[in-house]
């Protein structure tokens, strides 16, 4: 398993890791219980404040833990954790302690009680800031209040779900289009 | 420029192309005017009906065209169109006719008046079904009512924005994790 050395990262820039569309692991805690869910439906909604929209299904055991604690951590796994991410999505926190079952390490957060997953490339501590879309759309709007990102690699090899059990693995990152951007667009 | 042969595609499965997180081109039409914008902030919100949440900034010229016509087409470009996608994002429909300027071909939709972009891998005709989040979040909730997808390649080489002028190019698609999924999860 990779061991990352992480540093603080500006919350307004978490788009650099979420906008490409990776599968993420969402960790949560409530009254002594922790859980992890695998999530593919999320989007950046604003940079300052740093807002993320996340679809969390009512059938997910994490749904109530996050709704009640009003917190979570969005963790970004690299491809080495793909098997674990699938298995996490395939079982329920009702039946198993996922940190224990998948030998993942809890790291204490600075701003939230939900645990960070040490084995992930990045960890974004989030507060639930808008509950009004949960009933209609299962849409949780979070604000990232603290971000921890590995210092290396510069660009994580994330996994991107295509449905039907297929994943696209992040390919190369290219800078050759950068010169086409107006400075104010960067 | 690639020439695609496209076929109908089930609208409930458009996640296969959007969930990996590609940059898309959104085309629109209103009162004889057409426009195209480049968009990176979107998410699947439901499969049936096929709902997509999209962040469209008030400063985008497309904002009013889409708000008034209540329609758009979400087009997925492959990497061959990366330069065009950046340039589309760098100019305004106020000043230029983007179809003309970028030599893109309009194809008539079946369910919407907004034009499809022929040079894109896939075209999803969308109706605006929820306007209630536009003021607060610039969030447009669309229903995909008709989908056209190229028969080849099977997996498009999409571009994924990392911010700061950098793009991640879609890497390989792998099926080796498929056996780990419970059948009902596929």
C-alpha span between B104 and B55 (Å, rounded) = 23
A22/B21 touch (CB, cutoff 8 Å), yes or no: yes
Q: What is the share, in percent, of chain B residues with pLDDT greater than 90?
A: 96
**Residue A126 near residue A145 (C-beta atoms within 8 A):** yes
* Positive or negative: CA dihedral A56, A57, A61, A66: positive
Tell me what pLDDT residue B2 has: 83
| Maximum distance among all Cα pairs of chain B, rounded to whole angstroms | 52
pLDDT digits (tens, 9 = 90+) for B134-161: 999 999 999 999 999 999 999 999 999 9
pLDDT digits (tens, 9 = 90+) for A56-107: 999 999 999 999 999 999 999 999 999 999 999 999 999 999 999 999 999 9
Of all residues in chain B, the one with the smallest CA distance to A159 is B20
C-alpha span between A58 and A74 (Å, rounded) = 18
pTM above 0.95, yes or no: yes
Of all residues in chain A, the one with the smallest CA distance to B184 is A90
pLDDT digits (tens, 9 = 90+) for B51-103: 999 999 999 999 999 999 999 999 999 999 999 999 999 999 999 999 999 99
B177/A13 touch (CB, cutoff 8 Å), yes or no: no
Residue of B90, B162, B170 with shortest CB distance to A168: B170
Dihedral angle, C-alpha A39, A173, A107, A54, nearest 10 °: -30
Could you tell me how far CA B68 lies from the centroid of its own chain? 19
* Positive or negative: CA dihedral B46, B48, B52, B53: negative
A163/B86 touch (CB, cutoff 8 Å), yes or no: no
Of all residues in chain A, the one with the smallest CA distance to B175 is A166
Residue A183 pLDDT class (50, 70, 90 cuts): confident
Residue B5 pLDDT class (50, 70, 90 cuts): very high
A87 close to B (CB below 8 A) = yes
B180/A87 touch (CB, cutoff 8 Å), yes or no: yes
Residue indicated by tokens 């079946």: B110
A170 close to B (CB below 8 A) = yes
Q: Which residues of B touch A21 (CB under 8 A)?
A: 19-22, 160
Residue indicated by tokens 């230029």: B96
Q: Which residues of A touch B11 (CB under 8 A)?
A: none
Q: Which residues of A touch B74 (CB under 8 A)?
A: none
C-alpha span between B40 and B53 (Å, rounded) = 11
**Residue B18 near residue B42 (C-beta atoms within 8 A):** yes
B45 close to A (CB below 8 A) = yes
Cβ neighbours of residue A105 closer than 8 Å, sequence gap 6 or more: A99, A117, A118, A119
ipTM for the assembly: 0.96
B16 close to A (CB below 8 A) = yes
pLDDT digits (tens, 9 = 90+) for A95-108: 999 999 999 999 99
A13 close to B (CB below 8 A) = yes
Mutate to test the interface with B, among A10, A17, A18, A21 (most CBs of B within 10 A): A21
B86/A177 touch (CB, cutoff 8 Å), yes or no: yes
């Amino acid at each position: 398993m990779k061991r990352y050395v992480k540093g603080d990262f500006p919350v307004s820039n978490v788009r650099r890791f979420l906008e490409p569309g990776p599968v993420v692991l969402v960790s949560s805690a409530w009254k002594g219980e922790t859980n992890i869910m695998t999530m593919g439906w999320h989007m950046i909604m604003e940079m300052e404040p740093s807002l993320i929209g996340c679809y969390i299904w009512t059938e997910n055991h994490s749904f109530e833990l996050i709704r009640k604690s009003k917190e979570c951590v969005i963790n970004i796994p690299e491809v080495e954790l793909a098997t674990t991410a699938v298995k996490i999505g395939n079982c329920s926190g009702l039946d198993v302690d996922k940190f224990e079952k998948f030998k993942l390490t809890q790291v204490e957060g600075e701003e939230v009680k939900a645990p960070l997953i040490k084995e992930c490339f990045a960890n974004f501590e989030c507060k639930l800031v808008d509950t009004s879309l949960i009933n209609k759309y299962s849409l949780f709007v979070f604000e990232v209040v603290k971000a921890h990102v590995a210092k290396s690699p510069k660009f994580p090899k994330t996994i991107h779900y295509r449905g039907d059990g297929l994943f696209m693995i992040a390919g190369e990152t290219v800078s050759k289009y950068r010169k086409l951007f107006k400075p104010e667009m960067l």
